[in-house]
Amino acid sequence: MAVSRLPGDPSKTLYRDRLVIKGSIAPLYWYPLWATWQWRGARIAALAPTWAFDPPLPEDETAV
């Protein structure tokens, strides 16, 4: 997993995730895992706006 600022728009976040499966049975699992990964990504995107920001630390408040 990787989280970074969206290039060109620092107010947004770019979230990247990768799942790698190997082996002879991998083609059978590809579509179900892909569908689950898409659903998971949609849920994360829907929930992300509700996540709170970290409050400022006390030393940050005194420096202002």
Bridge-partner residues for 9, per DSSP? 6
Distance CA 22, CA 62 (A): 53
DSSP letter assigned to residue 41: H
pLDDT digits (tens, 9 = 90+) for 7-58: 888 778 888 888 788 899 899 998 999 899 899 889 988 988 887 777 777 7
CA geometry: angle 47, 55, 6, nearest 5 deg? 50
Q: Give this prediction's pTM.
A: 0.55
Q: What band does 63 get if pLDDT is binned at 50, 70 and 90?
A: low
Say what the pLDDT of residue 24 is: 92
